Amino acid sequence: MMMKPASEYPSADGLWTGLRLAPDAALGVTLDAGVEAAIVVMQGEIRWVGAGSALPVEFAGLAQHDGGGALVTPGLVDCHTHLVYGGQRANEFAMRLAGATYEEVAKAGGGIVSSVRATREADEDTLFAQAAPRLEQLLADGVCAIEIKSGYGLSLEHERKQLRVARRLGEAYGVTVRTTFLGAHALPPEYAGRSGDYIDLVCREMLPALAAEGLVDAVDVFCERIAFSLEETEQVFKAAKALGRPVKLHAEQLSDMGGAALAARYGALSCDHIEHLSADGIEAMRRSGTVAVLLPGAYYTLRDTHLPPIEALRAAGVPMAVSTDHNPGTSPTLSLLLMVNMACTLFRLTVPEALAGVTRHAARALGLQDTHGAIALGMPANFVLWSVRDAAELAYWFGQRPVHAVVRQGRIAVENAA
């Protein structure tokens, strides 16, 4: 598969008719089931959305795009990925099948550090060429905005290379890319035993330089016993705050480090993974409006059995997003729709919750709630036409891609035969 460059996508301007809005609050608009919907796109923006029968007369003469009865949702948002890296780690899959844990693989020289080696060896064009087909698969699933983290370079030069590739991918495919600096993902081998020195480098040199180059939309840390401590995490958060960058956190994935409460104190956009999130962590996230990002692909790959506290998050009203966590170690999936299925099947989210998790709440986890995750007046036109009858089918047909068409940033980026 090789998609056309963004400059060749046709404009989506005009009147989209014959649509059915998925009947839940994930969409920014609600219509009674069975009511035919229409969307007006002008200059790439949503100008009107509602029941076709209520279309204002001023729009009636616009060029028409017949949706043919397709179900429509906002464009999907994949709010947590490590999409740019060298190599792959299928060998670790085999090691884990033979009984090794994620932590044992990491300690044996595999894990994140083995992707660091391969990423450092690859030049920018090679990384771009390897990441592009991955991005194309996510886009074919209806993704219209995506977060891409660094974290496999672990030096100024190589983190820069990853983030530059992320920016180039956004330009090449006309997709919104949010870059997250994850310099504190793992300790690079040359800093073995000198974690404090490496965190100093991250805070004093890498982050300021990359932020000045416009490569850092947010800052993330892997806070875990096999990665960085709570104190080190706070140092990075302070550096991010000094530069005015929002923070996120890989929090409580393997153990309860108290990372979520710390992140909430820094007004984090999101805490991600959170299988071991405590009641205090949930309360802190509720107060700070931090999004809980659920990553069922990593949970599944690691054969984890410690479920994130879904019921308590739901009861507290903490918004829950769902993402691929695409990465070569713990979640090599390239389908956000498959994560919708897993969020329902493994984590017991309802279908409306899971769909909100890959639209509205995922947008908020990136600070993009004003431009993505809903079909709403004045937003750039990002929506997906699905060839299904019922919204539940988006969770049900796991492993399939029932996309009929994708309107991304006001352009028809994908159009499949009916």
Would you state the torsion angle of the CA atoms of residues 211, 214, 268, 333, taken in this order, to the nearest 10 degrees?
-110
Site string for ligand NIG, 280-299 (x = CB under 6 A): ------------------x-
Residue 55 structure tokens = 């279309």
Buried b or exposed e, range 14-31, using 16+ CB within 10 angstroms? ebbbbbbbbbeebbbbeb
Q: Are 116 and 157 in contact (CB under 8 A)?
A: no
Query: Min. distance of Cβ 198 from ligand NIG in angstroms?
Result: 16
Q: Which of 67, 170, 259, 329 binds ligand NIG (CB under 6 A)?
A: 329
Size of the site for ligand NIG (CB under 6 A): 14
Q: Which of 111, 142, 281, 373 binds ligand NIG (CB under 6 A)?
A: 111
Scanning 210-218, 258-266, 321-329, 361-369 for contacts with ligand NIG by CB under 6 A, the matching segment is: 321-329
Closest residue to bound ligand NIG by CB? 329
What is the DSSP pairing of strand 383-386 with strand 64-74? antiparallel
Q: Which of residues 318-347 bind Fe ion (CB under 5 A)?
A: 325
Please report whether residue 304 would count as binding Fe ion according to CB under 5 A: no
Q: Are 250 and 222 in contact (CB under 8 A)?
A: yes
Q: Are 413 and 6 in contact (CB under 8 A)?
A: yes
Is residue 47 helix, strand or coil?
Answer: strand
Query: Min. distance of Cβ 229 from ligand NIG in angstroms?
Result: 15
Closest residue to bound Fe ion by CB? 325
- Of 148, 143, 134, give the one whose Cα is nearest residue 73: 143
- Tally the C-alpha atoms within 13 A of residue 349's C-alpha that lie toward its C-beta: 29
**Whole-angstrom distance, CA of residue 100 vs CA of residue 281:** 30
Q: Which of 233, 327, 369, 382 binds ligand NIG (CB under 6 A)?
A: 327
Question: Would you say 284 or 293 has its CB closer to Fe ion?
Answer: 293
Q: Which of 12, 26, 112, 413 binds ligand NIG (CB under 6 A)?
A: 112
The alpha carbon dihedral of 98, 101, 107, 109 has a sign of: positive
Question: Would you say 78 or 325 has its CB closer to ligand NIG?
Answer: 325
Scanning 57-65, 164-172, 329-337, 358-366 for contacts with ligand NIG by CB under 6 A, the matching segment is: 329-337
Q: Which of 222, 228, 383, 386 binds ligand NIG (CB under 6 A)?
A: 222
**What does the longest C-alpha to C-alpha distance in the chain come to?**
70
Question: Would you say 161 or 250 has its CB closer to ligand NIG?
Answer: 250
What does the binding site for ligand NIG look like in residue numbers (CB under 6 A)?
82, 111-112, 115, 222, 250, 253, 298, 325, 327-331
